[in-house]
Amino acid sequence: MESTVPPAPAAALPTPAPAAEVVLTVAGISKSFGDNHVLKDFSLTLRRGENVVVLGKSGSGKSVLIKCIIGLLKPDAGTITVLGQPVATLSHVALDALRAKVGFLFQSNALYDSMTVRENLLFPLRRHWLADHQGQEDQLVLQALDDVGLPQTIDQLPAELSGGQRKRIALARTLIVPPEIILYDEPTTGLDPVTAREIDQLIRHVQQKYHASSLIISHDMSCVRLTSDRVILLSEGRSYAEGTYAELLASTDPIVHAFFE
């Protein structure tokens, strides 16, 4: 009698990791100023825990994009969804509540010159968390300063700090109400290369410690290499190319290649 050989068990397939939740979607936005068509059907997605860099030459519309995301500018077409909420339709109150979850690091830092570091850091805490954290404020300020390695500056004024230190304090102010999404507008522009690389490391540290998702606007290629999980090249108002730094570096497309020369 023929013995029946039981079929070999199918090789176990690795279960694909579930794709992380999308926290920010920019879907086909356009924005013009008169005849100047800055963004033309631009799209991107940002997933939880991810760092996406938008790379583009000066005047390509990077700051316009970031202003649309935080609701300072209204796109002519397309939609922007942040943490599940369509930005354009939100009331002032809802937009304000959403902004508490989205940290924005201005290129200019936007620190208050007449306030000490402590007062600058208390500002968002009092604005967004109100009574919740009375009594813990000093501890939260120190924690945020510790995150950026500058606890000793607590009683100093911004004018007494270096450019790199001011950038760190601006980041500490963003972290004090822990954000789910951080938008960085040119975080290393105007800094010397050594300080710029320290800021890059800090951006990675923040990503790991807070599991925050970040959109980083930059044309500093070292910053792009060191901080990005994915890069989107903004050119002629569109998402022209997308990939990891290494993928874009290997591209033979002349527009992509020009950024790596």
Binding site for ligand ATP (CB under 6 A): 33, 36, 38, 56, 58-64
Euclidean distance between CA atoms 255 and 133, whole angstroms: 50
Q: Is 147 helix (H, G, I), strand (E, B) or coil?
A: helix
In the complex with ligand ATP, which residue's Cβ is closer, 65 or 145?
65
- CB of residue 92 to ligand ATP, shortest distance in Å: 20
Choose among ligand ATP, Mg ion, none what residue 188 binds, the Cβ cut-off being 5 to 8 Å by kind: none
- Burial pattern 43-62, b for ≥16 Cβ within 10 A else e, equals ebebebbbbbbbbbeeebbb
Euclidean distance between CA atoms 228 and 214, whole angstroms: 9
In the complex with ligand ATP, which residue's Cβ is closer, 59 or 190?
59
Choose among Mg ion, ligand ATP, none what residue 38 binds, the Cβ cut-off being 5 to 8 Å by kind: ligand ATP
In the complex with ligand ATP, which residue's Cβ is closer, 71 or 178?
71
- CB of residue 18 to ligand ATP, shortest distance in Å: 34
- CB of residue 177 to Mg ion, shortest distance in Å: 25
- CB of residue 33 to ligand ATP, shortest distance in Å: 4
Euclidean distance between CA atoms 133 and 8, whole angstroms: 61
**How many residues sit in the footprint of Mg ion (CB under 5 A)?**
2
Per-position x/- string for 10-49, each x denoting binding to Mg ion as judged by CB under 5 A, each - no binding: ----------------------------------------
Task: Take residue 230 and report the two structure tokens written for it.
Answer: 């994915």
- CB of residue 19 to Mg ion, shortest distance in Å: 30
Task: Take residue 242 and report the two structure tokens written for it.
Answer: 């997308």
Choose among ligand ATP, Mg ion, none what residue 260 binds, the Cβ cut-off being 5 to 8 Å by kind: none
Q: Which residues pair with 150 in a beta bridge?
A: none
CA atoms within a 13 Å half-sphere pointing along the CA-CB vector of 42:
29
Alpha helices in 22-112 (DSSP H): 62-69, 92-99
Euclidean distance between CA atoms 95 and 220, whole angstroms: 31
In the complex with ligand ATP, which residue's Cβ is closer, 64 or 241?
64
- CB of residue 174 to Mg ion, shortest distance in Å: 18
Handedness of CA 197, 147, 112, 55 (dihedral sign): positive
Per-position x/- string for 45-64, each x denoting binding to Mg ion as judged by CB under 5 A, each - no binding: -----------------xx-
Query: Contacts for 136-141 with beta carbons within 8 Å, 24 or more apart?
Result: 140/176, 141/176
List contacts with Mg ion (CB under 5 A). 62-63
